Amino acid sequence: MALIDRILRRLPCALVTFALGASGQWWDPGTPINEWVSQASERRLKFSFEQTIRYEERTGMSFGNEPDEGYALVRSRFGLAYKPIPWLKVSALAQDCRAPGYPNAPNTARDSLDLQESYIELFGDRKTGFYMSAGRLMLNYGDTRLIASPQWGNTTRTWDHLRASYRFAKWSAEMLLVSPVKVRIHEFNKPVFGDRIWGFYGSTPDLFRKTLLDVYVLRHDQNRIGGFTQGSQALGTDRLGTNSYGFRMVGPLMNGFKFNTETVLQNGKVAAAQHRAAGFVGVISRHLQAGKHPVELSGEYKYASGTANPSDPSRSGTFDQLYPANHDKFGHADLIGWRNIHNIRAQSVIGVTKPLSVTMMYDTYWLASTRDALYNISGRPISRAPLGNAGRYVGQEADIFATYKHAHWSLGAGYSYFFMGEFIRNTTPGVRPQYLYFFHSYAF
């Protein structure tokens, strides 16, 4: 009832958000403008534009540890890419993010006009041979579980990076160095190079029977300036240094089934503690036809280790999730992250019409270690029971959301409800999270 009351109070704002998107569904000015610019510049110059407006109502935030909020999120982007010669591309993207109705909005929701991308790319169109890019860029690797720029977040993570790869006919090998850019409200955004990921990423799209394989070795270094706060500066242990050894495989199975799996093993140090951790994802899916309606069914299991005894300063077992795009990975409401968790999911996506799809999702969660914390989408602790006496079961989340796409426009809405388990009832104020949103976006 509290969520319904809040929605009714803000109904005019919500209706305006929806009407703006619906009224523009058949108007697409960007395509002819961009085509004219491209032809006039002999295909050397290209513009891009995006605006996304989303209205959200969240109650029971962090299970009652944070106040309820209702607000709009407005993100506008304008980009320019120039290719003076076939093997060189120079690109820049400006971004402005606002959060009307969100008092003291954090830097995940608002950031006045800033530089989201500014990079050069060498030999980007080559199918084989050397490739390089450097500068500021939104990056995504694999299934976006470790290094990504989540687009659902309003300000969207971006990276200052340098990467070089060599592409062969059947596989590619890349060396990368990336550092997340810290959003500074009302200031120019800057990276903190004391927080960086570097290493090797290899990929082949057809290992056997159209099976994709990614393999990677990634080093995550973070000092106190870069955001690490667990160690003792006086003892010189204010450092995190984890190594992630992983692989990802995606491919067909028998009778129309598909699989998607990823395994990550970690070692290194977290302050003075020896770090040993692991993460796993396994997905089985199948495409069906229900009359004229396509249906995609999937089942999924995810695991990330926790620390068995957090009071032991010599051992760390909590999985380092690096910087993922966790939206939808652990429920649509974005409550929980990939640390100290078991998660089982069932999902169905129904194509109602060609432009309209409806997704239903169910997740259940329990802790890997009862003495370690439950972590949020950003990897920060929500609550913990140091003695391990609060239970293991976290709860369940049910989600339903719909998306309608026409040309360069999208409309969508969704609702999430969380059913609390024993651990949540024993370690938090015990408020059931609910999440309601609708959005529209236009991009070219």
pLDDT tens column, 297-307: 999 999 999 99
Beta bridge partners of 133: 121, 163
Over range 420-442, report the average pLDDT.
95
Helix (H, G, I), strand (E, B) or coil at 423: helix
Task: Look at residue 401 in the predicted model and tell me its pLDDT.
Answer: 97
pLDDT over threshold 60, residue 296: yes
Distance in angstroms (rounded) separating the CA atoms of residues 370 and 305: 11
Tokens in use for 434? 């609910």
Contact indicator for 91, 83 with CB cutoff of 8 Å: no
Task: Look at residue 33 in the predicted model and tell me its pLDDT.
Answer: 75
Residue whose structure tokens are 């120019």 = 188
Which tens digits make up the pLDDT trace of 365-418? 999 999 999 999 999 999 999 999 999 999 999 999 999 998 889 999 999 999
CATH number assigned to the domain comprising residue 102: 2.40.160.100
Which tens digits make up the pLDDT trace of 333-360? 999 999 999 999 999 999 999 999 999 9
Task: Look at residue 5 in the predicted model and tell me its pLDDT.
Answer: 55
Task: Look at residue 281 in the predicted model and tell me its pLDDT.
Answer: 98
Task: Look at residue 234 in the predicted model and tell me its pLDDT.
Answer: 64
Instruction: Estimate the crossing angle of helix 2-9 against helix 11-23, to 10 degrees.
Output: 70
Look up the domain containing 93 and give its range. 2-443
Task: Look at residue 3 in the predicted model and tell me its pLDDT.
Answer: 53
Task: Look at residue 4 in the predicted model and tell me its pLDDT.
Answer: 52
pLDDT over threshold 90, residue 258: yes
Task: Look at residue 38 in the predicted model and tell me its pLDDT.
Answer: 73
For 85, 327, 336, the CA distances from 304, given in Å and listed in that order, are: 46, 16, 12
Which tens digits make up the pLDDT trace of 389-399? 999 999 999 99
Using CA atoms of 76, 197, 175, 140 in order, give the dihedral in degrees to the nearest 10: -30
Over range 74-98, report the average pLDDT.
96
Q: Identify the sign of the CA torsion 73, 47, 178, 165.
A: positive
Mean per-residue pLDDT over the chain, rounded: 92
Task: Look at residue 235 in the predicted model and tell me its pLDDT.
Answer: 66
For the chain, percent of residues with pLDDT exceeding 90: 81
Which tens digits make up the pLDDT trace of 120-142? 999 999 989 999 999 999 999 99
- Model confidence at 198, pLDDT cuts 50, 70, 90, reads very high
Task: Look at residue 37 in the predicted model and tell me its pLDDT.
Answer: 75
pLDDT over threshold 90, residue 50: yes
Residue whose structure tokens are 């999937």 = 298
Q: Poorest-confidence range of 23-32, 197-206, 227-236? A: 23-32
Over range 233-241, report the average pLDDT.
81
Tally of structural domains, the chain: 1
For 206, 209, 211, 297, the CA distances from 258, given in Å and listed in that order, are: 15, 12, 10, 10
Task: Look at residue 279 in the predicted model and tell me its pLDDT.
Answer: 98
Which tens digits make up the pLDDT trace of 167-181? 999 999 999 999 999
Over range 251-256, report the average pLDDT.
93
